Structure 1
Amino acid sequence: MQSATDRTGLAIVLSLLALLLFDCMGLIIKHLSDRYTAAELSAYRNFVGLVPSAVALWSSRVWHANGRVLRMRQWKLACLRGIITTLAQFCFYLALSRLPFATAATIGYADALFMTALAVPILGERVGAARWLAVGVGFAGVVMVMKPGGESFTADAFLPLAAAFCYALSGVLARKMDGDVPSPLINLYSSGTSVIGATVLALSLGGFSDLQGAGDVGWILAMGCFGGCAVLLIVISFRMTEQANLAPFHYFGILIAFVLGWMFFGEAPVDDLMPGAIFIAAGGLMIVWRERQMRRARVTAPRGPHTRV
């Protein structure tokens, strides 16, 4: 039975809207990438995105109930996540400037596969044959999309893969944070660190370019707002229902990215994406399915020795 706070239908709608906003942010990044570097765009995105992050924190009931405390014990770990996110953004934004939009986005969905693999050394989780098989299926899809040895294969194809690894590492580290710390507070620490990290990276790579008119300022503001609001919607949707209920819809982002890339850039890399995109989504969905099975087993099974899953 669903609890009063479990509004799965609305949570799914909000998570899909978040995917759309993330892809709209990516469209703007690709549009601006011929005038500004990936590090510059990362700095702008994080700076503007601090506003939605602050709104998310202010709307957190847990934060208010705990006395609106801004200090946190694991602040170093939260800042480390911000640094890792900076590297992820740099790689992904650079990929958007060099690869077809849908191709970069699709390879980026390997983050769920990396999270499963990284949970073993970092969280000490035991991953059984079913989930390792799912990881293998997903990475087979990544290889199909990248097409090593093919005419379209370049080193740039590793950029979204590196971004996926860094995003996954950031996500796994988030699970090591104290459970009583509000997620928006963790996100605010990480976002603030990302602003500093991206700024330092931009300055070390040649500095910031002059903004080319009010139009670009508007695009940059929209980019930051889209990204920040997408994070806010994800936080809200996760509060409404279990993450396992939302995970299967995560892969609608591949379809959204393909449609938007075709609409705005005239890209339709069907031959590059198929059937690899299907394998990536299948691997991720297999992981979701297995984790839901494990969760049900833990709820219904009697207490006993921990078994390998």
Structure 2
Amino acid sequence: MKTDRTLAAIALMLLAICLFDAMGLIIKYLSPRFQAAELSAYRNVFGLIPAMVVLYMSRDWHARGRIVKVRQWKLAALRGVILTFSQFSFYLSLGLISFATAATITYSNAIFAVAFAVPILGERVGALRWSAVMVGFAGVIWIVRPGADAFTPASLLPLGAAAGYALIGVMARLVDDDVPTPLINLYSTGVAMIGGLVLALMTGGFTPVTQTSDLWWIVAMGAFGGSAVLLLTMAFRMTEQSNLAPFNYFGIPLAFVLGWVFFDEQPWDELFPGALLIIASGMIIIWRERSVRRAARA
């Protein structure tokens, strides 16, 4: 039964990755007509829906009296502020560089998560994990290529987004254990929605949606992103995160194929072998985490 739940969780995660990439494709498609900030605002409006759905489905939340007030609301709000700028950076990068390159660089978030866990959580990181971080960082540098003729400052945007996403994940572990995860996500997404609205107004306001097709694309963007968050939440509740983490890198080849099919992008020289180093780094970190957990259970 446990194996069946793990397989189902893996299937849900793979579907979520596909939906996230579909959302990214729509963002890239809409980027010539809409600002990154307003797309982020639209995304978070729809992002509130899955957070509310998952919260309502939480038995623990109902058992605790459906409490919506969080003691660490400032921490939850800070995560929302960081999410605002992380989304803005990633969405902006999708309109400036190839889809696969932007997506691949964001997968370096595991590297940043290890680095942030030391000062924020007080974790002790051994030589093996630091070596994995350095391997992944070398892969990122290979893709970004600072100082090279092909370097573009826009490639730093998804790198900043990856750092922000990692910081959000690490900060989530500071939240009290009795606070439901969807409630924290609801706070953070709500703040990010407001942040996106403010950024959009500060950078030129909202662009009128004059085409019905654009309206449907915006709705689909929010639906895909919101559904992906819901599926991921379901997957992580069905099995241990270490069982799912290796499949996270399925998004790198998928992003390459989708960028090739829909935008005729073939960034071979940009991505390889840097993407392989990022994948190798993540797999080493995952292997190390699973080894530690197995030793603790023995």
- Does residue 127 in structure 1 map to residue 125 in structure 2? yes
Please show how residues 73-88 of structure 1 align to structure 2 within 5 Å: 73-88=71-86
Distance 1:177 1:212 in 2: 43
Residue 53 (structure 1) aligns with: 51
1:204, CA displacement in angstroms? Answer: 1.0
1:60, CA displacement in angstroms? Answer: 1.4
Could you tell me which amino acid in structure 2 is paired with residue 283 of structure 1? S
Residue 185 (structure 1) aligns with: 183
1:151, CA displacement in angstroms? Answer: 2.8
Distance 2:60 2:217 in 1: 34
4+ residue runs over 4 A deviation: none
1:58, CA displacement in angstroms? Answer: 1.2
SS in 1 for 2:95: helix
Please show how residues 15-94 of structure 1 align to structure 2 within 5 Å: 15-94=13-92
Could you tell me which amino acid in structure 1 is paired with residue 28 of structure 2? K
Provide, for residues 93-114 of structure 1, a one-character-per-residue CA deviation record: whole Å limited to 9, x for no partner.
Answer: 0100000000000011110100
Distance 2:91 2:150 in 1: 20
Distance 1:131 1:87 in 2: 28
Residue 202 (structure 1) aligns with: 200
- 1:42 and 1:90 in contact (8 A); partners too: yes
SS in 2 for 1:135: helix
Residue 305 (structure 1) aligns with: none
Residue 7 (structure 1) aligns with: 5
Residue 235 (structure 1) aligns with: 233
- 1:139 and 1:280 in contact (8 A); partners too: yes
Residue 274 (structure 2) aligns with: 276
Distance 2:12 2:181 in 1: 17
Distance 1:145 1:99 in 2: 12
Residue 293 (structure 1) aligns with: 291
Provide, for residues 97-143 of structure 1, a one-character-per-residue CA deviation record: whole Å limited to 9, x for no partner.
Answer: 00000000001111010000000000000001000000000010001
SS in 2 for 1:216: helix
Could you tell me which amino acid in structure 2 is paired with residue 159 of structure 1? L
SS in 2 for 1:261: helix
Q: 2:147 aligns with which of 138, 146, 149?
A: 149
SS in 2 for 1:98: coil
Provide, for residues 27-73 of structure 1, a one-character-per-residue CA deviation record: whole Å limited to 9, x for no partner.
Answer: 00000000111101000000122112211111112212212111111
1:264, CA displacement in angstroms? Answer: 0.5
Please show how residues 262-273 of structure 1 align to structure 2 within 5 Å: 262-273=260-271
Distance 1:74 1:194 in 2: 17
TM-score normalised over the length of structure 1: 0.94
Provide, for residues 217-242 of structure 1, a one-character-per-residue CA deviation record: whole Å limited to 9, x for no partner.
Answer: 11111111111111111110000000
Could you tell me which amino acid in structure 2 is paired with residue 154 of structure 1? T
Question: Where in structure 1 are there 5+ consecutive unaligned residues?
Answer: 301-309
SS in 1 for 2:281: helix
Please show how residues 160-171 of structure 1 align to structure 2 within 5 Å: 160-171=158-169
- Does residue 249 in structure 1 map to residue 247 in structure 2? yes
Distance 1:65 1:246 in 2: 28
SS in 2 for 1:296: helix
TM-score normalised over the length of structure 2: 0.98
1:201, CA displacement in angstroms? Answer: 0.9
Distance 1:125 1:104 in 2: 29
SS in 2 for 1:220: helix
Provide, for residues 173-196 of structure 1, a one-character-per-residue CA deviation record: whole Å limited to 9, x for no partner.
Answer: 001111111111111111111110
1:150, CA displacement in angstroms? Answer: 2.6
Question: Where in structure 2 are there 5+ consecutive unaligned residues?
Answer: none
- 1:52 and 1:225 in contact (8 A); partners too: no
Could you tell me which amino acid in structure 1 is paired with residue 156 of structure 2? F
Distance 1:150 1:188 in 2: 42
Distance 1:67 1:13 in 2: 33
The CA RMSD over aligned residues, in Å, is 1.2
